[in-house]
Chain A
Amino acid sequence: MSINKVKALGYPLAAVFDANDQKSFRMLILWLEENILHTYVPEKRTELQNVDSPSWDTAFKNYCVSCSSPIKSTEAMDQLEWLLGVAIRLTYNKQKNKFDSETKKTLEVSTDVPMIIPSDNPIDNLDVNSSDFKEGIEKLADLLNISKHPDHKITLEAIHKFIIKRLNEEAIKNPSSILPKGEAFPLEKVKGHTIESKDSAVLHAMKVLRLAQLHRLRDLQTCINECIVAMQEVTSDPKTDTKLGKVGY
């Protein structure tokens, strides 16, 4: 509804405006014409001013044509929406500088202070730094056998990943589908390559990072293969014709 636009334009009767009330609607149109749009010279406005007259609707139709409204709809509301838009544009253009600087100020303030929308969702109102919450995460991590990070939120992320991947419905139904097959590649066999460090802990960490990266690459490659297979469903039609074959001498 256009009530916000009406308010923004400073219509004095905005508080009691009711678009469905015929008189209220007509009064708004008249106010728009007299104060902002100025499409007619004051003498021509008589018919619009006559808000109780039965011929007002016809006068409004003519008025819209005079405003060169592009709206084809016969709904008066649609016309109003458009007229409000024009009125806002005119008002804005008149005081462009003022509005621009105001907008800038508002934006600066709003980025500094995050907008807080009160929510009904209990999770949104959780105090993630409360000791209760931390304790809960630790318990969950123990339960799922996940090592803990000093930042409990990171531990939570790890738990999240684990649950999504290993404890989803499909995985529980068919655990062998997600368990890695074959023998694990021992970490000490992973070569360092360009990693230069004498600290065995650093080397170890680098190797783990490498393996994590390889894991992500593998997932990407699997996605690529799945795409190819999906495409093959459409295009593939392998044929052989043994009559064409010829063995050389």
Chain B
Amino acid sequence: MVVRAYNEELAYLEKKSPYKWEIKKGFQPNMRVEGVFYVNKFLEKLMLEELQNACRPGMIGGFLPGVKQIANVAALPGIVHKSIGLPDVHSGYGFAIGNMAAFDMDDPQSIVSPGGVGFDINCGVRLLRTNLFEKDVQPIKEQLAQSMFDHIPVGVGSKGIIPMNANDLEEALEMGMDWSLREGYAWAEDKEHCEENGRMLNADSSKVSMRARKRGLPQLGTLGAGNHYAEIQVVDEVYDKWAAKKMGIENVGQVCVMIHSGSRGFGHQVATDALLEMEKAMARDKIEVNDRQLACARINSNEGQNYLKAMSAAANFAWVNRSSMTFLARQAFAKQFKLTPDDLDMHVIYDVSHNIAKMEQHYIDGKPKHLLVHRKGSTRAFPPYHPLIPVDYQLTGQPVLIGGTMGTCSYVLTGTEQGMNETFGSTCHGAGRALSRAKSRRNIDYNDVLEKLQKQGIAIRVASPKLVMEEAPESYKNVTDVVDTCHEAGISKKTVKLRPIAVIKG
């Protein structure tokens, strides 16, 4: 890393509009394209402070500041257009979380990097609607939260209640949501309203290590820990009436269920395995990167292909996982209300992936290009009429589900044409951390956090309360700032705001 004084660093950053900054070439060595990041004035302060802190003499260790990470990604072979930081960007392993980048598939030098996908492969958010209203749920929300907690196993080391053997897992890895459909855990309409239709076709379970399978098998159908949650939410505000109607959201007060989860230990192991393999490939193919956390391999190399196939299997795992939890959530509701999930109209509004790499076609300088798009902590947000979004959302654009942090609100956005042109049809994914986990543990008391939630009238069920402060709203950026920035910058459009009334957490 180049060591410069903060003022000198600032010379490389230019504010292009109230919501958009550009990182010029030269900020980090060998930048092939410019970097860009979207922030409003509050988030801007956080970004620059982080950089300023890193510029102080003697600051070594930990992750690089987000701006530096975006610039390092801009130096990777085969990158096109720009290295893009979304408003919730914060430091992560190699790539910043909230950093997206696309690599030209036709360039033999282009790379794929597990750091650009993240450890929790195909972590994502799913939103179910119901035909219930807040007044129906408030009186029994404690029972409902308990019922959800009883159905969906949570926490580190939790195990699922859907019986599966090794053979089932093998099939699920290849089939994704089609497995859930075949076995009857999902509805046909769920598949229709899921990104990629809930199945990556290039998945190859033979590229997945034994260790990953062993970790994955008992964890299917579990929520996990960390920032994952299942929430019962109510519609708090509707910004775009017609788009909301298309999603089946009719009015303020309507009850929804949000599930935020990923591929659990399975995806983590796939990423870990790939990182080891790629270090060797980098030495062999003489791939030079600015940060050794940016381990990568050429897309067409064996290592690159193996990773993509295993990653797809992990993505399928995550979809089966979310489908299983959808099934369990539907059961929990059905039991409480003594109605079938059908009667409760518990349809999936949409299911997004915010940690994934996908092959997509985009226009660069007016020419169609095949790209490998890495989205880490970034959600796909395709505009109206895009052929890859469900027919129900052709007029509105793809729904984008932004999960807030525990106790704060969540949003539904829609994709825009401008986002397609500027950010490869990508937008933010959530609040984004402001404090590291360790810092949160030191600074916040978990009793305060739980008490505060209670005061807000939110029913909460947690498996490990002592870890709750890591996920306290104070540890995160303000999700409203993040979403507003995306809206103002035009890369996605606000549609609905949701507020939690019950939280189930690891």
Contact status A235-B183, CB under 8 Å: yes
Q: Which residues of A contact B390 (CB under 8 A)?
A: 221
**Contact across chains for B328 and A248 when beta carbons are under 8 A apart:** no
User: Total interface residues on A, using CB and 8 Å?
Assistant: 35
CA distance A57 to B183 in the complex (A): 68
CB-contact partner of A190 in B188, B327, B395, B417, under 8 A: B395
CB of A4 within 8 A of chain B?
no
Tell me whether chain B's interface is mostly helix, strand or loop, or mixed. Answer: loop
Measured CB to CB, the closest approach of chain B to A163, in angstroms, equals 26
Which of B72-80, B120-128, B151-159 sits within the interface? B151-159
In contact, A246 and B246 (Cβ under 8 angstroms): no
Residues of A within 8 A of B191 (CB): 228
Compute how far the CA of A229 lies from the CA of B181 in the bound complex, rounded to whole angstroms: 9
How many residues of chain B get a CB closer than 8 Å to chain A's CBs? Answer: 40
Contact B160 A247 (CB under 8 A): no
A221-B192, A240-B161 known; A248+B154 contact, CB < 8 A: yes
The answer on a CB contact under 8 Å between B391 and A221 is yes
Considering the chains assembled together, what is the distance between the CA atoms of A246 and B156 in angstroms? 10
Q: Determine whether the beta carbon of A193 is less than 8 Å from that of B328.
A: no
A186 close to B (CB within 8 Å):
yes
Chain B 320-341, CB-CB to A under 8 Å as 1, else 0, gives 0000000110010000000000
In Å, the complex CA distance between A248 and B152 comes to 11
Interface string of A200-229 (1 = CB under 8 A from B): 000000000010001001100100111011
Report the minimum CB–CB distance from A237 to chain B (whole Å). 6
B239 in the interface, Cβ–Cβ < 8 Å?
no
Contact status A240-B391, CB under 8 Å: no
A228 CA to B191 CA, complexed, in Å: 10
Considering residues B156, B327, B391, B464, which has the most beta carbons from chain A within 10 angstroms of its beta carbon?
B391
Chain A residue at smallest Cβ distance from B161: A245
Additional 17 contacts, C-beta under 8 A, given A245-B153, A246-B158, A247-B158: A185-B245, A210-B385, A218-B391, A218-B392, A232-B181, A236-B182, A238-B162, A238-B327, A239-B162, A240-B162, A242-B161, A244-B218, A245-B158, A246-B153, A246-B159, A247-B463, A248-B156
Between A and B, 13 residue pairs with Cβ closer than 8 Å are A183-B245, A189-B242, A191-B395, A193-B385, A217-B391, A221-B391, A225-B192, A228-B191, A239-B163, A240-B161, A245-B153, A247-B153, A249-B157
Closest 6 CB pairs of A and B: A248-B155, A236-B184, A225-B188, A228-B188, A246-B159, A248-B158
